[in-house]
């Protein structure tokens, strides 16, 4: 058999990522003076007042990442364009809108304020209460201020490009009320006068593809018969094929302005919730490109629940370091595991659900057709000679995929309804969170927004394989290919990821008529690949124990509060810190 790859690209991706991460951790400031100097170097201004107290807090609780807050600074950058008085007023006004709650800090004590009376929302205040809990250790050191907290997972703020770059086009003074800024009364959800994509594409610069009308008036039913990826593979049996391509990071920076067709594959563009078209502050648990929300840690990560927390004992109400359902590495299955609901986007406009991220992955993993996928692997017993095999996707899915929907949410929004969902996707029973730990590969997919299970996956001894278009508070702190495996939004490389780390399946060897079929199954697994996979599992677990702790979330919120206090001040220079 002829070798098709001499050096596997995953090896270099891991080595480069590990080097980058070591350099980042090793460069963190060791003293308050060094931290102040680094802040000035990065952000071209002094740190905010109270920075010394934050530094003391960070040192007391052994916070590792003390300089990596570039994402936070980027979130707040637009609000430097308006005055402190205007920002204070807008912080209160936006709390009048549906599904936004105010966390109010007065005289060192926080409270939750619901200002949109008469609007019923099942998620009211959950995220606001979580944010308050994260402030509890230091709120008595902070000045009075207001935090508008998004009650929804979806992003909320989309400001048209012209209104960001040509201030004369938008109302700068909100003293006449929020309706004067928004151009009229705000309705909670989209009617027949727009949708998220129409609002989002207006955040792009003029002249970009997304600003051209053809992308917005496309027939919503034209793309339902095929996926964003193609399951057909015309590669020769001696070439790696189109599936042999791996991403260095997640898809959080996909440029939809220049590739508008890609928006059909992401459910957040089809949310039923109306976005806010003016620069108002909204604190949200995740942020997709183009949105101006301000990231905060998720309340799912901070609290402890059966559905989202590794090691949570719901009977004794305590958190254990090792989950009772954890499985030793050598006993974990070399399979991909995923369970979840059919959430992933709204239904506005209708007809696009088949292209949403979860549906696409489940259709790929449920495919029982005669199509082939080309898989490249080290042919045992050699670990350096990579060969390619065209393998029936139905056999690959049977051997590698344990994935299923467990609940159909609003199946009427899917063309063909429940029957069509059942025909194209595998469905199964709900399972406890601990069932995941029996598998080496835990796919982490976006839902209506970010995935609330990511921290639990990291805490386990399994490996998260994460596909996302969102940044979160920890995005500056974590490293793909060190702590988790990033997956492209097409998912096409999934089979080759498993082939590298876990070796060829029975069907792959049969497709090549390989002599390795005579070897015992345990000898077909590449030793180096399994060692590398376990290294990612251990690194992810260590990261969760040292940088993904609840105290690290509090440190992030503390730093955010100091920045927010300065922005809301009439004299911002008076809120600078100096040694």
Q: Which residue has the higher pLDDT, 143 or 379?
A: 143
Q: What local confidence, expressed as pLDDT, does residue 235 receive?
A: 52
Contacts with 423 (C-beta within 8 Å, 6 or more apart), sequence order: 416
Q: Which residue has the higher pLDDT, 298 or 215?
A: 298
Q: What local confidence, expressed as pLDDT, does residue 224 receive?
A: 44
Contact 131, 298 (CB under 8 A): no
pLDDT tens, position by position, 405-432: 999 999 999 999 999 999 999 999 999 9
Contact 291, 476 (CB under 8 A): no
The strands making up 333-341's β-sheet, listed across from edge to edge, are 401-407, 333-341, 439-445, 463-467, 485-486
Range with the poorest average pLDDT among 68-77, 377-386, 413-422, 542-551: 377-386
Q: What local confidence, expressed as pLDDT, does residue 170 receive?
A: 74
Q: How far is CA 108 from the centre of its chain?
A: 33
Res 569 pLDDT > 50: yes
pLDDT tens, position by position, 500-548: 999 999 999 999 887 677 766 666 677 899 999 999 999 999 999 999 9
Contact 451, 444 (CB under 8 A): yes
Q: What local confidence, expressed as pLDDT, does residue 355 receive?
A: 95
As a whole number, mean pLDDT of residues 45-62 equals 98
Q: What local confidence, expressed as pLDDT, does residue 227 receive?
A: 46
Q: What local confidence, expressed as pLDDT, does residue 232 receive?
A: 47
pLDDT more than 70, % of the chain: 91
Q: Which residue has the higher pLDDT, 519 or 233?
A: 519
Cα–Cα distance, 97 to 94 (Å, whole number): 6
Band of the pLDDT at 118, cuts 50, 70, 90?
low
Contact 463, 440 (CB under 8 A): yes
Helices (H) and strands (E) in the chain, counts: 18, 16
Res 113 pLDDT > 80: yes
Q: What local confidence, expressed as pLDDT, does residue 117 receive?
A: 56
Band of the pLDDT at 230, cuts 50, 70, 90?
very low
DSSP string, 343-356: -S---SSTT-GGGS
pLDDT tens, position by position, 147-190: 999 999 999 999 999 998 886 767 789 999 999 999 899 999 99
Rounded to the nearest 10 degrees, what angle do helices 550-567 and 51-60 cross at?
A: 180
Architecture of domain 325-549 in CATH?
A: 3-Layer(aba) Sandwich (3.40)
Q: What local confidence, expressed as pLDDT, does residue 514 receive?
A: 75
pLDDT tens, position by position, 189-217: 998 889 999 999 999 999 999 998 654 44
Cα–Cα distance, 241 to 391 (Å, whole number): 12
As a whole number, mean pLDDT of residues 49-73 equals 98
Cα–Cα distance, 102 to 571 (Å, whole number): 24
Res 266 pLDDT > 80: yes
DSSP reduced 3-state for 412: helix
Q: What is the mean pLDDT of the chain?
A: 91
As a whole number, mean pLDDT of residues 446-472 equals 97
Burial class of residue 247 in the structure, from the number of CB atoms within 10 Å of its CB (0-12 exposed, 13-18 middle, 19+ buried): middle
As a whole number, mean pLDDT of residues 317-322 equals 94
Q: Which residue has the higher pLDDT, 34 or 192?
A: 34
C-alpha dist (Å) from residue 371 to 174, 390, 396: 58, 9, 11
Q: What local confidence, expressed as pLDDT, does residue 360 receive?
A: 97
Contact 245, 472 (CB under 8 A): no
Q: What local confidence, expressed as pLDDT, does residue 121 receive?
A: 57
Cα–Cα distance, 73 to 39 (Å, whole number): 10
pTM recorded for the entire structure: 0.94
Name the residue ranges covered by the structural domains of the chain. 29-63, 75-236+269-298+553-570, 325-549
Band of the pLDDT at 225, cuts 50, 70, 90?
very low
């Amino acid at each position: 058999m002829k070798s098709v790859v001499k050096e596997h690209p995953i090896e270099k991706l891991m080595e480069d990522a590990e080097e980058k991460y070591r350099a980042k951790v090793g460069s963190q400031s060791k003293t308050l003076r060094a931290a102040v100097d680094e802040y000035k170097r990065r952000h071209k201004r002094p740190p905010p007042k109270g920075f010394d107290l934050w530094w003391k807090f960070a040192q007391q609780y052994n916070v590792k990442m003390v300089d990596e807050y570039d994402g936070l600074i980027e979130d707040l950058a637009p609000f430097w364009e308006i005055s402190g008085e205007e920002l204070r007023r807008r912080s209160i006004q936006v709390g009048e809108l549906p599904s936004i709650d105010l966390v109010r800090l007065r005289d060192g004590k926080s409270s939750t304020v619901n200002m949109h009376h008469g609007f019923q929302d099942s998620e009211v205040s959950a995220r606001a209460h979580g944010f308050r809990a994260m402030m509890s250790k230091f709120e008595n050191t902070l000045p009075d201020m207001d935090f508008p907290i998004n009650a929804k997972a979806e992003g909320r703020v989309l400001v048209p490009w012209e209104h960001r770059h040509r201030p004369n086009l938008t109302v700068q003074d909100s003293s006449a009320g929020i309706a004067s800024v928004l151009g009229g009364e705000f309705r909670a959800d989209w009617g027949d006068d727009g949708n998220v994509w129409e609002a989002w594409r207006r955040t792009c610069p003029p002249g970009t593809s997304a600003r051209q009308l053809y992308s917005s008036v496309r027939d919503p039913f034209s793309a339902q018969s095929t996926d964003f990826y193609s399951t057909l593979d015309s590669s020769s049996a001696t070439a790696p094929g189109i599936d042999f391509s791996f991403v260095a990071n997640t898809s959080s920076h996909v440029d939809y302005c220049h590739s508008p067709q890609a928006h059909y594959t992401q459910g957040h563009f089809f949310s039923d919730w109306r976005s806010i078209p003016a620069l108002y502050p909204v604190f949200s648990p995740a942020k997709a490109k183009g949105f101006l929300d301000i990231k905060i840690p998720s309340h799912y990560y901070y609290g402890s629940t059966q559905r989202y927390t590794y090691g949570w004992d719901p009977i004794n109400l305590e958190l254990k370091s090792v989950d009772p359902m954890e499985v030793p590495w050598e006993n974990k299955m070399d399979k991909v595991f995923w369970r979840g609901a059919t959430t992933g986007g709204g239904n506005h406009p209708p007809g696009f659900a088949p292209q949403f991220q979860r549906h696409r992955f489940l259709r790929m993993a449920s495919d029982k057709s005669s199509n082939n996928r080309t898989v490249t692997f080290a042919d045992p017993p050699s670990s350096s000679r990579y060969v390619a095999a065209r393998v029936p996707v139905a056999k690959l899915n049977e051997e590698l995929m344990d994935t299923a929907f467990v609940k159909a949410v609003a199946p009427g929004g899917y063309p063909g309804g429940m029957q069509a969902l059942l025909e194209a996707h595998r469905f199964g029973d709900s399972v406890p969170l601990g069932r995941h730990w029996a598998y080496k590969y835990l796919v982490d997919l976006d839902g209506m927004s970010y995935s609330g299970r990511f921290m639990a996956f990291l805490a386990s001894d399994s490996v998260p394989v994460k596909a996302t278009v969102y940044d979160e508070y920890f995005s500056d702190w974590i490293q793909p290919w060190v702590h988790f495996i990033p997956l492209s939004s097409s998912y096409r490389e999934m089979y080759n990821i498993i082939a590298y780390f876990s070796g060829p399946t029975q069907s792959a060897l049969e497709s090549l008529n390989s002599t390795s079929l005579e070897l015992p199954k345990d000898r077909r697994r590449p030793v180096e690949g399994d060692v590398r996979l376990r290294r990612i599992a251990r690194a992810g677990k260590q990261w969760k124990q040292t940088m993904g702790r609840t105290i690290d979330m509090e440190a992030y919120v503390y730093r955010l509060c100091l920045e927010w206090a300065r922005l809301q001040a009439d004299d911002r220079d008076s809120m600078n810190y100096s040694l």
